[in-house]
Structure formats: structure tokens, C-alpha cells
Chains A and B, each alone.
Chain A
Amino acid sequence: MNVLKVSRLTIAAFVLPCLIIYVGIVFVPIIVSMYSGLLDWNGIGESKFIGLENFRNLFFHDPVFWPSVRRTLMFAVFSMAEIPVALLVAILLKRYVRRPNFLVSSYFLPVILSVVVVGQLWKTIYNPASMGGMLNQVLTTIGLESWTHTWLTEPAVAMYSLYFVALWQYLGYHTLIQYTGILNVPEEIYEAARIDGAEGFTADRYITFPNIIPIFKISIVLAFIGSLQSFDMVMVMTGGGPAHATDVISTHMYNMSFLSMKYGYGSSIAAFLVVLCLAATFLINLIFSKLEKRFS
């Protein structure tokens, strides 16, 4: 702080307006929504205070809730598992491609497309062969007819089809982040390492990775929080169907609040989601602070 040579008061004065707005549009709604979670309320009429009844139903009597939590967490796990792949792609780009900018931008392209566009695109790809679905037609052509599925409507595979689209869309995003991180590692270190006989993946293990742990962490947090909140892609492609087979926490919350008109109950799901996000962020930070210590 002292490096900045500004008094704490000044800092406070500058931070205050932003802080007020932030508290107003982030924390106040969270508190209000948590309070709504304690109500029996359809969203428009009279409300009744029922204490923790909503949470009790949510945790013990809701057949959709825990499966949707499981799917959400699986989503998060897959998204995080994608980061090492993105890192590998970034390393390969840096090492073997002379002008990688074009490739990086191409990988990044799906990210700037609206989720609705991506969703519709993949819906068409996933269609049954009789409706012109590309994936099934390709499978049939190369003789793997037994592998064809109605990808979005078989409860057993529908969720994985959705995971894949999300991974496809965000691979470029994480590759870009990792690639930028790698570029920031000073070239001299690699040169010094080469003299000592460390090249290729050995250099990556001992130089690249420890140097980009903070960047790696950003990617992990973004992937995790992003997939906990996944909503739009599920809505566009399956709407949580068939029969809740692709419901995640946020779509379940939406269904309850707006379609079943149980606003209080929906709010209790929202409260759960907030707590889950906070806990996850805390946990990830903890793990990474340990990791950083070990490598530095």
C-alpha cells in the first residue's frame, strides 16, 4: 500500500462510489433473494413466512434437485479438466507454430458467438440422421451406425452432448488465456534451462507451469463458476428435458420460480447456488495458494 504513496483515506474515497454501486446491485439482491427463500410465495400474491421449510423440501423431498446438483458439478469437473488440454494446445502453439495468431483467433471464434447461435448450430448437428443431423450422418457413412444416437433426447447421453458443446465453445477461450500467460514467461529462463539440458516438456514442467500458475488459476475459477451458472445453453438446446434429464441447478431454479410459480422455493435454490459458488471459490483459492507455495 505504501508504495502507492497515497493515503488510505484517498483510496477509500475512490473506492467508495464503486463499492456502493456494487453492494447495491450485488449484495442487496442476494440478501433479498435469500430472504425470499424463506417464504411461501408464488411471486405475485401474498407471501407467507415459513422459515426453513423450503430448504427442508429442497434437500430431502425434491427428486430433481440432487441429480441437478450432480450434473452441475460434473459440468464443472469437465470444464476444469479442459484447462490442461487448453494449456497443452497453448504450449504446442507457442513451440511449433511460427505465427500462431491466426490459429488462436480461430479457436477463439466460438466464444464470441452468442450461446443461442452455438446452441442452434449444435442442435442441427445432433439431429437424427432422418432430419439431416450431421453427426449421425457422418457416423453412418463411416460404418459406425451402431454409434448413432438421438443425442439430445436420450436421457443417458443428452447431458454429455451438452457438456461437449460447452467444452467446444470454451476451449479457445482458455487456450487464449494460457497462451498469453506463456508469452509472459521471459525467454531468458528457457535459454538458461537449455544450457542446463532442460528442453521440451521438461522445460514446461519446471519453467512454464510454475510461472503461469496464477493464470492457470484464473482459468480454473472462470471455468468452475461459469459452469455452475450454466443456463442459457441448456435452455436453448433441451430446456432441461427430456423429463429433467438435463436440468442443472439454474434451470431447475428457473422452472420452479417462473413456470411452477414457486418463487420462494426458487429463491431457496438460488441461495444454495450462491453458497456453492462462494464455497467453491474459497476452496480453489486455498488449493492454489498451497500449489503456488510448493512451486516457488
Chain B
Amino acid sequence: MAKMSKLLSLVMTGTLALSLTACGGGSKTDEGSTSSNASGTSSNTTETVKEKNVTITFQNIYPDPTDPKNKLMNKLVKQYETDHPNIKIELDSLNTDQQKLKLKTQAASKEVPDITVVNPAAQMQPFVDAKLLAPLNDMLDQNGLKDTFQDGLLDWYSFDGNTYALPDGNNIGVVYYNKELFDKAGVKVPTTFEEMLDVVKTLKSQKIQPMAIGEKDSWTGSFLFMNMLLRTNNGPGFLKDVVDKKKTFDDPAFKEAVDAFENLVQAGAFQDGATSFDYNAGENLFKTGKAAMYYMGTWATGGIETSSVNGKVGVFKFPTINGKGNPDEFMLAPGSAFAISADSKHLDETKAFLNWFMINFPKEAFEAKGAVGIGQKVDGDFKAAGYSDMAMDVLGLFKDVKGGDLAFDNTMNPGTAQVHLTSIQNLFAQKKDATEVAKEHQAAFEANNK
């Protein structure tokens, strides 16, 4: 009998422990849902009802405190919170890759933060198809926000007449070069791809690293490759033609681009072991003056300005290949963009905040010297505001832009894009016949577009 009661007490203790933990968890979730319900109703009723406290989660990709965009975001958020005491904005700052991964995980469980970051065109399509993002048309019309964006830019973020995201940038692919190293080797800015190969060889013979790249992040090589394809195809739209089944990857233009790319690799343009350098490590080679050229989107301008090569750097357009293509056509990189969760509990407040944020974005970015390559129109004299000569050069290139192509992963679905990225990365490791590369691409395209 004594044994029995002992056992009973044991079981009781066990269940008690269990129920305690269960209670703890339960009450927590209860709390969460009631508060969000309360604020949900407040946003639905008219604004005259005294504001309930609202917390907006703001996922962003500005984690670096030295980045001007991080500073301006903090400033704007603080100001908004002061003006609207009932609204609290919770920042979730992540670097680009982390954010992409986190959002996908959150999306799988339908827990997208109030404001998040998506990438244009094909990359955001799955989120739009899954109805995770709220259309922002109404909010764009408020306070004239729509007109602050550059013409046509919002098209990359629009599906079936609805705009789902607001870009923070609009960049182009350019070649940065180190003037000092160019002078030292006695080479000039190349105007054709053939000249560029000669420049590479001359630099190489003088033991100067011709180009830097961070090919562990395989989009970097793809971005450059796509610029070459833009030339050999004699204009933009190659991938679109493939999607529309007007062309295949077996097209001569594609194979010519592969050959040109391999020539560049074989000429020793890139640093040894390029595929183990991530984006930052690759860029650092250029920023520390160890490489003479660097192909990248103009978003790199700010970082180069704050590096040790500041003042020695110029930019040029990617040259023609075999006389084909127009240097005024660029790789276009409409930036990452802010989107609002369709299931946001405080949709109205979030829209109001983002509207205010984006309207103030260009002015603040201009003052923080971060306005090169933003997606909105900027009033102001860049030169007078103290922007560097390189920044002025970059802004000059923007004026020449006569169309271009988007990056591969913004045009094709993720499955095809991954095969492409790997295939291009492989060209750094071993020489491969262009026909083989084309075949690989076509097979992947067909397998992923059934």
C-alpha cells in the first residue's frame, strides 16, 4: 500500500510538472493573440477611436551600422515612433542571405513579418502566387508616392496590374577600375572585349591581379556572364525569348557568350581560387588595391568610397564583344524591395508607415550620401552635396542607360537559375565546351518548366 501511494505521488508530480509547462506555454500564446486581436479591431474601426498600441515588425537587410541605409532607417523609424507614440516598430535586421532564408521559412508557416524584403520579378513570383503579399496600389496613390519612383521601375514588382513591393534601389552593372594600377601597367580603358583581354594579359604579365570576383557566391559570375550575353545577343531579351520558346539555349549568341567568358577566365583575369572567395572577400581584393578591375552593380559604389582605394577608382561600361552589342545597354538590377504581408494584423498602420518611410527615403538617402542607385527620383545637386568624383561618374553612366537585361535569377524560376549558377561557376574550375554548357541549360530549363 505504501508503495502504491509512493507511486501515485510520483505520477502526480510528473503530471504537475507537465501541466505547469503546458500552462506556461498556453498563457503566453493567449496573451499574444488577444493583444493582436485588439489592435486588429482598432485598425478596422475609424481612427477617431483612441489608438491602441501597435507593433510593426520591420524585416530589413541593413544590418551593418556603418551602412548609410542602416543609419537612415534607424533615424526614420525613431522619428516615426516619436510622432506616433502608439506605434512601435520592431526591427529585424539581417544580411541578405539570412533574410532570404528566414523569409522562406516564415512563408512556409505563413508567418511573414509585417514588412519584409523581396527581390524583383521571378524571385518574388512564388510569394505573390501564394498570396502572401498585400497589393500596395491604394497606398502608392497616397501622398503621391507612386510618382517618386523612376519611370517603369515598379513594373518589375507588379503582377496582373497590382504592385506588391517598393524597391529601395535601381542599379546597373559596371566595371570599376583602379586608375593607379592601370597607369602603372600602362593600359587604357578598353572599348572592346578584345582590348579588354589584352588589358588583362598586360596586367597579368606585370604581376597585377587583373580582376576580382567573389565566385563562391555564384551570382557574381552569372551577373558578369549575363552582361556578355547582352552583348553577343546584340541587345536585351534573350532569356525572355527562351521563356517564350522563341529561342533555345543552343542559340549561337549564348554559345558565343560562353566562349567569351571562358576566354576571360583562361586569360587569367580572375584571382586563383576564385570559387572559394565569397562576395565580400572578392570585393575586398579590389577595395584594398590588390586587383585592377571589378565588375559589379553600382550598389558597390558606397563601399568603394569608404575604402582605401577611394579617389583612384573610375568606372566604364562593359565593352562590345566581336563588335556586337551596345555599351549603353546595361545589366539592370532593380533592387530588393519592401513588401507588406497580406496577413498583417495591422495592415493599415503598416501601409501608412511604409508610405511615409518611402516618401522620406530619397531625401534622407541623399543627405546620408547613399543616393547613388536608389530607385526614386532625387532632387538636389550631388556635386555640391559632396559626392565623390566616382559617384558622379556612376551617376553619369545612369544617364546613358538605354535598356538592358535583368539578372538570370530574376528572369528564370529558381530551379533553372540554380543549374545556371552552378554551370557558370564550373567554368572557373574547368574548361568546358560551349555546346555542353548550352545543353545543360536547356535540359534544366525544360525540366523546371513542365
Which of A89-97, A242-250, A284-292 contacts its partner? A242-250
Q: Taking CB as reference atom, which chain A residue is nearest B129?
A: A45
* Cα distance A150–B275 in the bound complex, in angstroms: 10
Contacts of A239 in B (CB 8 A): 216-217
Which of B56-64, B71-79, B419-427 contacts its partner? B419-427
Q: Give the residue of A43, A45, A259 whose beta carbon is less than 8 angstroms from that of B418.
A: A259
Q: Give the residue of B101, B130, B423 whose beta carbon is less than 8 angstroms from that of A243.
A: B423
Q: Are A7 and B418 in contact, with the CB atoms below 8 A?
A: no
Q: Are A46 and B272 in contact, with the CB atoms below 8 A?
A: no
Q: Is B33 an interface residue (CB 8 A)?
A: no
Which of B10-18, B23-31, B344-352 contacts its partner? B10-18
Residue interface mask A228-249, B partner, CB < 8 A = 1: 0000000001110111110000
Q: Restricting to B355-409, which residues have a CB under 8 Å from any CB of A?
A: none
Known A46-B130, A153-B273, A263-B108; contact A241-B414, beta-carbon cutoff 8 A: no
* Cα distance A10–B17 in the bound complex, in angstroms: 16
Q: Is B292 an interface residue (CB 8 A)?
A: no
Q: Is B234 an interface residue (CB 8 A)?
A: no
Q: Are A242 and B415 in contact, with the CB atoms below 8 A?
A: no
Per the CB 8 Å criterion, the residue count for chain A at the interface is 39
Q: Are A127 and B14 in contact, with the CB atoms below 8 A?
A: no
Where chain A touches its partner, the secondary structure class is: loop
Which of A11-19, A77-85, A182-190, A201-209 contacts its partner? A11-19
* Cα distance A17–B15 in the bound complex, in angstroms: 8
Min Cβ gap A23→B in Å is 14
Contacts of B423 in A (CB 8 A): 243
Known A153-B273, A262-B415; contact A44-B108, beta-carbon cutoff 8 A: yes
* Cα distance A216–B417 in the bound complex, in angstroms: 46
Q: Taking CB as reference atom, which chain A residue is nearest B128?
A: A45
Q: Taking CB as reference atom, which chain A residue is nearest B131?
A: A45
Q: Are B273 and A10 in contact, with the CB atoms below 8 A?
A: no
Min Cβ gap A266→B in Å is 11
Q: Is A155 an interface residue (CB 8 A)?
A: yes
Known A16-B14, A44-B107; contact A241-B418, beta-carbon cutoff 8 A: no
Q: Are A242 and B271 in contact, with the CB atoms below 8 A?
A: no
Q: Are B429 and A243 in contact, with the CB atoms below 8 A?
A: yes
Known A13-B10, A44-B130; contact A131-B272, beta-carbon cutoff 8 A: yes
Contacts of B272 in A (CB 8 A): 128, 130-131, 150, 153
Q: Is A59 an interface residue (CB 8 A)?
A: no
* Cα distance A126–B14 in the bound complex, in angstroms: 54
Q: Taking CB as reference atom, which chain A residue is nearest B216?
A: A239
Q: Is A295 an interface residue (CB 8 A)?
A: no
Interchain Cβ contacts within 8 Å, total number: 105
* Cα distance A282–B129 in the bound complex, in angstroms: 44
Q: Are A152 and B276 in contact, with the CB atoms below 8 A?
A: yes
Q: Give the residue of B273, B414, B422 whose beta carbon is less than 8 angstroms from that of A261.
A: B414
Where chain B touches its partner, the secondary structure class is: helix
Q: Give the residue of B17, B101, B127, B271 whose beta carbon is less than 8 angstroms from that of A17.
A: B17
Q: Is B267 an interface residue (CB 8 A)?
A: no
Q: Give the residue of B132, B276, B418, B430 whose beta carbon is less than 8 angstroms from that of A260.
A: B418
* Cα distance A48–B55 in the bound complex, in angstroms: 36
Q: Are A13 and B101 in contact, with the CB atoms below 8 A?
A: no
Known A13-B7, A241-B425, A260-B415; contact A44-B126, beta-carbon cutoff 8 A: yes
* Cα distance A260–B130 in the bound complex, in angstroms: 17
Q: Are A154 and B429 in contact, with the CB atoms below 8 A?
A: yes
Q: Is A281 an interface residue (CB 8 A)?
A: no
Contacts of B273 in A (CB 8 A): 126-128, 131, 150-153
Contacts of A243 in B (CB 8 A): 422-423, 425-426, 429
Q: Are B126 and A42 in contact, with the CB atoms below 8 A?
A: yes
Contacts of A131 in B (CB 8 A): 271-273
Q: Are A123 and B10 in contact, with the CB atoms below 8 A?
A: no
Given contacts A13-B14, A44-B132, A152-B275, 15 further A-B contacts (CB under 8 A): A14-B10, A44-B104, A44-B127, A123-B276, A150-B273, A151-B273, A152-B276, A153-B428, A153-B429, A154-B429, A238-B276, A241-B276, A241-B429, A243-B426, A261-B413
**What are 14 contact pairs spanning A and B, CB under 8 A?**
A16-B14, A43-B104, A43-B107, A128-B273, A130-B272, A131-B272, A151-B273, A153-B276, A241-B216, A241-B429, A245-B429, A255-B418, A260-B414, A262-B414
Q: Which residues of A contact B (CB under 8 A)?
A: 7, 9-10, 13-14, 16-17, 42-46, 123, 126-128, 130-131, 150-155, 237-239, 241-245, 255, 258-263
Q: Which residues of B contact A (CB under 8 A)?
A: 3, 7, 10-11, 14, 17-18, 101, 104, 107-108, 126-127, 129-130, 132, 209, 215-218, 271-276, 413-415, 417-418, 422-423, 425-426, 428-430
